[in-house]
A and B are shown apart, each in its own frame.
Chain A
Amino acid sequence: MRIYLDYNATAPVAPGVADAVCRVLTDEPGNPSSIHAFGQRAKARLDDARAGVAALIGAAPSDVVLTGGGTESINLALRGACDALADSGRRHLITSAIEHEAVLMTLTVLERVGWRVTRLPVGRSGLVSPADLAAALGTDTALVSIMHANNEIGTVQPVAELAALAKSRGALFHTDAVQSAGKMSVQVQPLGVDLLSVSGHKFGAPKGTGALWIRRGVRLVPQQTGGRQERSRRAGTENTAGLAGLGVAARHAAATMADAAPRVTALRDQLEASILRDVPGTTVNGDRDARVPNTTNISFDGIEAESLLIALDLEGIAISTGSACSSGTLEPSHVLQAMGLPAARTRNALRFSLGPATTDADIRTVAAKIPALVDKLRRLTRRVVEVR
């Protein structure tokens, strides 16, 4: 029996999602853009999905663009906004050092074509300081992009405060809510952002689905051109089956969150407490209060994270570190580096990310196995050092 504690990588589909996908695939062959009955039925499924996502984030359905995933949403938000503001005289972008690669790489590309990019530092607990943002904002700042919850450490940024600062200086604010939407309450109005990116598969929708919420009145230049789908903001025939699954997953997350979030939080805290208690030389990385319910990131002194990850996988327990390089191996985390942690702690950190299906028994099994595995790896490391 395998135990899956890598929900920040992806989650199994939520109840009802697989059925909904199959039903659309078999029963709704139409193209949502077609005028006939087939098209109308397909379009209705799409509208339904859009309403589901909108309800999850407290938005109007017409402001939600359905996309092919979180990375696409982020690309559309950042590139689309920059293209729209190209002649505004504003040429400055602000982000944080701990963003997901989807944001960091996209901004690096924009930097190459003439945008100036400021990457804000984070404190030891992974939080962006509003004072730093205030100091970085200039009269030519076009857009600020700061993530809601971090994928590696789960730290939740003070987005409402940061967005208000950006707004006061006339800059747009985008937040990457890929790791928070569906796991905790994410409501666009109180957050006060202009653009918010969501990925479906992180909360039980099929992979290859996502959404971008665009505040009414904010202009974006489409990044994928062609047909007039998604109100001309995203060309291409829609993935009706996958997006129907997204709608179901969003509704399910919204309906169960009040129960699921505290339960997942309690299990996460239980796992964290046992590891900290039973394994000497362990430290939680990131802010322990401002945190998404399902994530804990723990450094284990004196071991390589890679070794513990493999040892746990051989025991049937799937966990992760936050970042993987092109070959799939671990590299020192840019998030933990940005937090100013010593080099060793950026290489010995493991991420446990729980989900709605995680059970008390899962957590007890994992908590019971870890101390002995860590102990063995540490003894081995010490022996090797002595030999040398």
Chain B
Amino acid sequence: MRVVVAMSGGVDSSVAAALMAEAGHEVIGLSMQLYDQRATVDGAPAFGSCCSLDDLHDARRVAHQIGIPHYIVNFEREFKATVVNNFVSEYAAGRTPIPCVHCNADLKFATLAERAAGLDAAAVATGHYARVHYDEELRRYRLLRGVDGGKDQSYFLFTLTQDQLAHALFPVGHLSKPDVRAYAERLGLSVADKPDSHEICFVPDGNTATFVERQLAAAPPSGEIVNSDGQVLGEHGGLHHFTVGQRKGLGLSTGKPMYVLKLVPAEQQVIVGAREELGGLTLDATGVNWIAGTAPDGPTRVTARIRHRHQDAPATVQSSGTGTAHLVFDAPQTAITPGQAVVFYQGEDVVGGGWIR
């Protein structure tokens, strides 16, 4: 069958492409151009290193090596309209966004999938560490964690619908990262020992606050830092500098370590407190997607992950309306952060997920 592979120039999607080609599929490599790499602000790069020209060249070289056609598609408008704008408005609203999910949901499995369909491709393959498979008994697709627990990226894929899963392939999902690198080396792929990407890829030097300020017409307003009793402890230069659980950069001298507990956009307040106050038992989620296509009936036992690097913890989730859910953890979890995704698992299965409010 004809398959489009989303190639970032990294080792995972390169190996994904090679595996698909090796399996005898007619593979077309597409790389997304997400922003003008030449753009600068005050002489410094306006965007970070992801999908840089070097990455695009790497993707092109790998495609040539494995003998598949490769094209770069210009998604600058779509990336700005979906991922970047959402990222900036979430920060401005006092939340901590996770753009990778939007990049998957709104670009790779939406716009890119449309392009793939236009090229008569039966599926879009990516380099994600996750698995998808059709369950004959359930008569639907299941989304499963990647085999490599340390690299599992199913958290970033919770928005996928049954229709999207039907056209999604994750060729490296059953491999470990060392296996992927070894495979790339065996094939002599030029990207075999390329380092993994980290942080928010499009933000230069990991400096989120500066990026947000440059994207906004006006700088977010400053405000007060208060403790949970409402006592003013200091001032801050905008909510976009903070995330729940943050300790550094508060500029307070209170003697004991203080953590950001909550951001209150209505008052432009940052509420801080001791580490013990960071724990939370419940959360509400919006934009909830259930992988099965429908919400489970009644309270459902799951393990829930509240950020990418969080060990999922036992909880009970219940649908609370169309696209919303209420979740209660068995034990308090540190730093439940609005804007991040919460993803519900049952064993290896992704049950669903949503956005923490």
Contact = CB atoms under 8 A, between A and B. Distances in A.
A311 B72 contact: no
B102 to A, nearest CB: 15
Interface string A356-388: 000000000000000000001100110010000
A327 interface: yes
Given A306-B73, A314-B28, A331-B74, A326 B118 contact: no
Contacts of A331: 74, 76
Contacts of B69: 313-314
A331 B38 CA distance: 13
A376 B115 CA distance: 11
B117 to A, nearest CB: 6
A224 B268 CA distance: 60
Contact of A326 (B28, B37, B115): B37
Contacts of B117: 380
A313 B101 CA distance: 32
Nearest to B2: A314
A293 B115 CA distance: 33
A329 B73 contact: yes
A1 interface: no
Contacts of A256: none
Nearest to A309: B71
B252 to A, nearest CB: 45
Interface in B52-84: 53, 56, 69, 71-74, 76
Contacts of A327: 33, 37, 53, 56, 72
Contact of B118 (A325, A328, A330, A380): A380
Interface in A323-337: 325-331
Nearest to A381: B114
A284 to B, nearest CB: 24
B33 A310 contact: no
A376 B56 contact: no
A350 to B, nearest CB: 15
B119 interface: yes
A307 interface: yes
B74 A306 contact: yes
Question: Which label, helix, strand, loop or mixed, suits the secondary structure of the A interface?
Answer: helix
A381 B113 CA distance: 11
Interface in A27-83: none
Contact of B72 (A307, A328, A377): A328
B22 interface: no
B46 to A, nearest CB: 14
A384 B33 contact: no
A372 to B, nearest CB: 11
B28 to A, nearest CB: 7
B18 to A, nearest CB: 20
B36 interface: yes
Interface in A278-336: 306-307, 310-311, 313-314, 325-331
A329 B33 contact: yes
A175 B120 CA distance: 45
Given A327-B56, A328-B72, A307 B38 contact: no
A326 B38 contact: yes
Interface string B17-48: 00000000000100001001110000000000
B53 A311 contact: no
B304 to A, nearest CB: 30
A311 B38 contact: no
A307 B37 CA distance: 22
A376 B33 contact: no
Contacts of B38: 326
Nearest to B115: A307
A311 B119 contact: yes
A314 to B, nearest CB: 6
B74 to A, nearest CB: 4
Interface in B113-150: 114-115, 117-120
B114 A330 contact: no
Nearest to A305: B74
Interface in B326-357: none
Contacts of B71: 306, 310, 313
B53 A380 contact: no
Interface in B154-196: none
A306 B32 CA distance: 12
A325 B39 CA distance: 12
Interface string B186-227: 000000000000000000000000000000000000000000
A310 B28 CA distance: 10
A327 B74 CA distance: 9
B322 to A, nearest CB: 18
Among B37, B117, B118, B120, which residue has the most Cβ atoms of chain A within 10 A?
A: B118
10 contacts: A307-B115, A307-B118, A310-B119, A313-B69, A314-B28, A325-B33, A326-B38, A326-B53, A328-B56, A330-B74
Closest 6 CB pairs of A and B: A329-B74, A329-B33, A329-B72, A377-B118, A327-B56, A380-B118
Interface of B: 28, 33, 36-38, 53, 56, 69, 71-74, 76, 114-115, 117-120
Given A310-B115, A327-B72, 19 more contacts: A306-B71, A306-B73, A306-B74, A307-B115, A310-B28, A310-B73, A310-B119, A311-B119, A314-B119, A326-B38, A327-B33, A327-B53, A327-B56, A329-B33, A329-B74, A331-B76, A376-B118, A376-B120, A384-B114
